[in-house]
A and B are shown apart, each in its own frame.
Chain A
Amino acid sequence: MSETLVSIWTDANTQWVLIGTLLLGLASGLVGSFALLKKQSLIGDAMAHAALPGICIAFLIHGAKSMSWFIIGAALSGLLATFFIEKMIKLSRIKEDTSIGLVLSVFFGFGIVLLTYINHQSKGNQSGIDDFIFGQAASLVGADVKLISAVAVLLIIITVVLFKELKLLTFDPQFAQGIGLPTGLLNGLLMTLIVGVVVIGLQAVGVILMSAMLITPAIAARYWTERLDHMVIIAGAIGAFSGVFGTLLSTTTKGMPTGPLIIVAATIIFLISMVFAPKRGLLVKAIRRSRLRRQVAREQVLQTLYDFTEQEYLQYKTGNGFHEQQIMKKRPISMSMLRKVLRSLEKEELVRRTGDALWCLTEKGLTEAYHITLRNRLMEVYLMNEMNYAHFNIRQDMDLLQLPEKVLTELKQLLKQYGREPLVLPANMNAGKRPYHRYASIGGK
């Protein structure tokens, strides 16, 4: 193994192959980002599959293996397939997904027929044309790689230079057309870029997996950023890394096709991205969701206890705390969640246990619950009178207590009118109120 590794670094051809797959990966990441965002992932798949008959026909006409002929053949039959897909959508009731599925399988089937025919011919066996199915980077020779690299560099340059235009075309084609961008031409260009990447990737990655090469780095990159320029760079890097990784592994392991290894590498990066990405990742989302659920439950429990306290206060009585079942009847919360919340509230000294499954707010808890209740009820009256406060630009997620003093007073006035004012005040705000026995500082025993 170590010997083979050494030979890879010293062998000129392998070095070229590595550079080729690196550039190929980079170009697919760049172009793939736009294809993905333009929701044309499947078009890439159709083109790749449809390239097979083109390659075979090129071989039959030329009579020998030639990279430039293959590229021409693949590009032509790929474009022909796209043409059929678009015509089918335009002229019939067939939808895009169906027409892509149809054209893709017909072209691929035809390609396999041709491939089998070539293999049955005498010289067919040595043609290496089988490599186009799953890709075999090792079978590339210097001249092929140079051609692939040159095309890849060209595609990369076009994408970078036209970044701004392609961005607008992808985000808002109508607006782009409105300001005078030739959207038809740009669309055609993007399609050509996709064809270009697919075609130069066919020998290394293979017709079946080439679309994954286009899409996987881009979708993985999408998880890490909210900026298109960053996404394109990250996608390019992931593509380049997967290309190099797959090539290295397939040249060191005998008979291993390159395409699947490249895709496995890209897919692993994608899975890692999907789970661990800092903002959009599943893990962060799950944590955020459970935290939010806890927080909502906490506020609901405090609010409910406050409502009960308020009722008690209005009825001039002081009971022995409130039962867990009572809380659950009022709020949709599971027993386990309720217990969890109550325990953590107890730790915060916001509630205290007054008996078996009986709880009440502590004075500290009363203050907290009072503010939660006030906020919620202010939001209620605000929503009832939204039009009058439109200029304050209030959002649902805003803390209403942070509003300017004048508006807050006005809203509190409304609260009083509607009889929704929270009645049990925290000790430090309770000057001159009717005594209430539960809290010493409000009334005292």
Chain B
Amino acid sequence: MNPVTVENVTVAYHSKPVLQEVSFSVPEGKLIGIIGPNGAGKSTLIKAVLGLVPRASGDVYIYGKPYKQQRKLVGYVPQRGSVDWDFPTNALDVVLMGRYGHIGWFKRPSKKDVEFAMSCLEKVGMKEYANRQISQLSGGQQQRVFLARALAQDATVYFMDEPFVGVDAATEKAIISLLNELKAQGKTVLVVHHDLQTVKEYFDWVLLLNMRKIAIGPTEETFTLENLQKTYGGRLTFLHQQHAIVNQQ
């Protein structure tokens, strides 16, 4: 069964369509890049899947059932800029938030939850920073805390919104090795990405998106000049660069 199936999803903000009739499904155990120009609706697609923005129409299934029934199977890494990092809390506490869905209402996190959160921090190389106030972490470290929080969700499908934006080289490598580890465990990871240079290196599959789905499939077959032209259409200077990228790889 497909981990994620999206059927005819349309999203509109203030009657302006952002996503139109997007349908696709992805196979299990793959790293999938969601690629497209600015304003193509990449983040919106993730949010629509997770029910964070209302869908004008369409359905989303996680392993064949509506998202609402499958929340515990899904992990989410929002954009780093979406929260106020001056919030009075430390790294461990943020990671623990990933456990909240499992802990349930009113209850406090147990010792086991804390241990699990610590192991997630360790996986992203941030164990020593567990008690650090989050505003005192670098951008890359903050991103890794968000990743650790998603790991703490102990999910099978992960959605990540631009995890590579504004991070240092060390974090980029840490994220990539983590993504590969998740893949090796048979988990499915969808990543919003906009650096075309690294697409072929990082992802098994790509979903090309520009308000509509342009193409989806294994990277070698789908990440072609023709498809990129369809996705980025009209941006000529940019296309030239893409040409170079495709040929070079």
Contacts and interface: CB of A to CB of B under 8 A. Distances in A.
Interface of A: 37, 39, 161-162, 164-165, 167-168, 170-172, 174-181, 222, 225-228, 230-231, 386-387, 390-395
Contacts of B169: 386-387, 390
B82 A174 contact: yes
B76 to A, nearest CB: 5
B78 A172 contact: yes
Given A390-B172, A391-B170, A179 B88 contact: no
Given A177-B52, A228-B89, A172 B83 contact: yes
Interface string B82-106: 1110011110011001001101011
B138 A395 contact: yes
B125 A222 contact: no
Interface of B: 47, 50-52, 68, 71, 74, 76, 78, 82-84, 87-90, 93-94, 97, 100-101, 103, 105-109, 125, 133, 138, 149, 153, 168-170, 172-173
Contacts of A230: 88
Contacts, number: 88
8 contacts: A39-B84, A164-B109, A176-B100, A179-B71, A179-B76, A180-B71, A227-B88, A227-B89
A168 B173 contact: no
A393 B171 CA distance: 8
Contact of B101 (A161, A179, A225, A386): A179
Contact of B78 (A174, A180, A387, A392): A174
A118 to B, nearest CB: 43
A186 to B, nearest CB: 11
B185 to A, nearest CB: 21
Contacts of A179: 71, 76, 100-101, 153
A386 B93 CA distance: 31
A13 B13 CA distance: 57
Nearest to A33: B88
Contacts of A392: 170
A130 B80 CA distance: 49
Contacts of B101: 179-180
A227 B132 CA distance: 11
Given A171-B87, A226-B133, A393-B125, A178 B97 contact: no
Contacts of A386: 168-169
A266 B83 CA distance: 29
Contacts of B107: 164
A386 B169 CA distance: 7
> Which interface residue of A164, A170, A228 has the most chain B CB atoms within 10 A?
A164
A231 B71 CA distance: 31
A180 B76 CA distance: 12
Q: Ordered nearest first, which 5 A-B pairs have the shortest CB separation?
A: A179-B101, A390-B169, A226-B133, A178-B76, A390-B170
Contacts of B100: 164-165, 168, 176, 179, 181
A162 B100 CA distance: 12
B88 A228 contact: yes
B68 A171 contact: no
A225 B88 CA distance: 7
B10 to A, nearest CB: 20
